Amino acid sequence: MSARLVQQELASNYIGASKHVTFLHYGEEGARPKIYIQAALHAGEMTGTLALHHLRGLLDREVEAGTIRGEIILAPLANPIGLGQFSAGDQMGRFETQSLVNFNREHLDISPDVAGLVAGVLGDNSAENVRLIRAAALSVLGEIPETSEWLSLRKHLLLRAIDADVCLDLHTDMEATMFMYINAFDWPALEDLGRDIGCRAIVSLDPYVPSRTFAGVVGGLWPRLAAAWPAASIPHACQTAMIEMRGRHDCDDAHGSLDALNLLNFLRRRGVLSGDAPPLPPSQCDCVDVEGMDVGYAPAPGFTVFHRKAGEEVTPGDHICDVIDPTAADFTLSRMPVYARQTGTIYARALDGIVVTPGKVLFRIAGGARLPHRLGRSWLDD
Ligand SMILES: [Zn+2]
């Protein structure tokens, strides 16, 4: 017994060539709760994919044991377009080369069309409202014409995720701890997820980020409709998280199997699988507002040498890294230091020895104090 494997063909941009995205389905369609997990939306980010590979093995055993109660959909390779983009031997998985759009931006905000469909039929029965809104969302998505490969991919990912109770989008950073970005509406509801997967940082975001990340449009549907229909009872019916599953050098079976087991525990804790989940692990971090996220930027062209690792605790003034220009006219000015401006955890940083241009994001620190240089800014600056 194993997953039901669905290969969804995508509309093609190219004569005589087409791609497909693969979904692994567990449980009865329509069973609740439904949890959707995708990985590698930025194509080459494989730590989440490795976790889902291990999770597939664990879930196949759950199928044999008859413990699947809800519905689970996994998309271990969510971006076949990016997986096929190579230039001179290097994979180019972050931006679509046709449109130059970041694969985790410009996802489809269907909330205006859904609002149009449910106008006048929502009332004070929140469960019925959820059912009506989910049906309307699937109907709106089904009508979207697939005029390009990238639009087709966005549509088919959303068709699996939009009616989920929980939607997880798994990424890989450069060098990083386990951390996640969540919709501000989803805290503390997602505290169990953060503890189960061992997050060292959790950053809460404005749910209406205009750049439309995948998790942003899936989770944002509900608060947007609640704002449009304040008289109706509309719960926030889908919790979403964009999880960075450490850094690109952490793609090994020890981490992958641990992450899969942690995700399995979360699925059981949420009732998708029958049986008792183990006790919730202790929390390793608080949830901080995005305005408490310090970001270090490259001050000039050069290459990076770091003095602090991801996961370390720092305070303002700590010397995090240098950007070095060995050809500077004055040797004493060839190292440009970059300092922390927050008390907290360095949860993500660039690699050592990479060549950077001015403004390149070098590191991120999560802390509780709101920072003057971050007020009103999102985290989407790379
Ligand atoms: Zn990513």
User: Which run of H or of E encompasses 107?
Assistant: none
In this structure, what CATH number is given to the domain that contains residue 148? 3.40.630.10
235: CA distance to ligand 1 center in Å?
29
Distances (CA, A) of 369 to 13, 291, 381: 47, 8, 20
382 domain-assigned: no
Tell me the per-residue pLDDT of 261-275, one tens digit each, with 9 for 90 and over.
Answer: 999 999 999 999 999
- Contact of 165 with 134, CB cutoff 8 Å: no
Residue 146: the pLDDT is: 97
Pair 357, 246 in one domain: no
Residue 230: the pLDDT is: 87
381 domain-assigned: no
Pair 316, 227 in one domain: no
Tell me the per-residue pLDDT of 331-355, one tens digit each, with 9 for 90 and over.
Answer: 999 999 999 999 999 999 999 999 9
Pair 183, 222 in one domain: yes
211: CA distance to ligand 1 center in Å?
14
243: CA distance to ligand 1 center in Å?
9
Per the structure, the complete domain to which residue 304 belongs is given by 292-374
341: CA distance to ligand 1 center in Å?
25
The domain boundary, picked from 285, 306, 335, lies at 285
46: CA distance to ligand 1 center in Å?
10
95: CA distance to ligand 1 center in Å?
10
42: CA distance to ligand 1 center in Å?
5
Pair 12, 82 in one domain: yes
137 domain-assigned: yes
Helical H runs in the chain?
47-65, 80-83, 111-118, 126-143, 149-161, 191-197, 214-228, 253-269
Closest CA to 252 of 172, 310, 306: 172
67: CA distance to ligand 1 center in Å?
32
Using CB atoms within 10 A of its CB, is residue 176 exposed (0-12), middle (13-18) or buried (19+)? buried
Report phi then psi at 373, rounded to 5: -80, 0
The C-alpha atoms of residue 11 and residue 25 are separated, in whole angstroms, by: 22
380 domain-assigned: no
Pair 365, 221 in one domain: no
Pair 235, 309 in one domain: no
* Number of domains forming the structure of the chain: 2
pLDDT level of residue 382 (50, 70, 90 thresholds): low
pLDDT level of residue 328 (50, 70, 90 thresholds): very high
The domain boundary, picked from 259, 285, 311, lies at 285
pLDDT level of residue 1 (50, 70, 90 thresholds): low
User: Which run of H or of E encompasses 145?
Assistant: none
103: CA distance to ligand 1 center in Å?
8
The C-alpha atoms of residue 365 and residue 321 are separated, in whole angstroms, by: 13
14: CA distance to ligand 1 center in Å?
26
Place of tokens 């039901």: 4
The DSSP code sequence of 72-96 is EEEESS--HHHHT-EETTEE--SB-
Report phi then psi at 177, rounded to 5: -85, 175
The C-alpha atoms of residue 344 and residue 328 are separated, in whole angstroms, by: 33
The DSSP code sequence of 39-52 is E-TTSS--HHHHHH
- pLDDT exceeding 70 applies to what percent of the chain? 98
82: CA distance to ligand 1 center in Å?
12
SS3 289: strand
The C-alpha atoms of residue 305 and residue 321 are separated, in whole angstroms, by: 6
Give first-to-last CA distance, the chain, whole Å.
43
Pair 73, 94 in one domain: yes
The C-alpha atoms of residue 16 and residue 74 are separated, in whole angstroms, by: 28
Pair 113, 224 in one domain: yes
The C-alpha atoms of residue 174 and residue 168 are separated, in whole angstroms, by: 19
Pair 341, 277 in one domain: no
Pair 145, 270 in one domain: yes
68 domain-assigned: yes
Q: What is the mean pLDDT of the chain?
A: 95
Pair 279, 297 in one domain: no
In this structure, what CATH number is given to the domain that contains residue 336? 2.40.50.100
* pLDDT score of 279 more than 80: yes
The domain boundary, picked from 215, 250, 285, lies at 285
57 domain-assigned: yes
Give the residue-averaged pLDDT of 11-35: 96
Question: Would you state the torsion angle of the CA atoms of residues 193, 137, 115, 182, taken in this order, to the nearest 10 degrees?
Answer: 20
* pLDDT score of 211 more than 90: no
The C-alpha atoms of residue 166 and residue 67 are separated, in whole angstroms, by: 19
The C-alpha atoms of residue 257 and residue 56 are separated, in whole angstroms, by: 11
115: CA distance to ligand 1 center in Å?
30
Tell me the per-residue pLDDT of 104-157, one tens digit each, with 9 for 90 and over.
Answer: 999 999 999 999 999 889 989 999 999 999 999 999 999 999 999 999 999 999
Tell me the per-residue pLDDT of 246-263, one tens digit each, with 9 for 90 and over.
Answer: 999 999 999 999 999 999
- pLDDT exceeding 90 applies to what percent of the chain? 88
Strand 344-349 and strand 239-247: pairing? unpaired
Pair 250, 312 in one domain: no
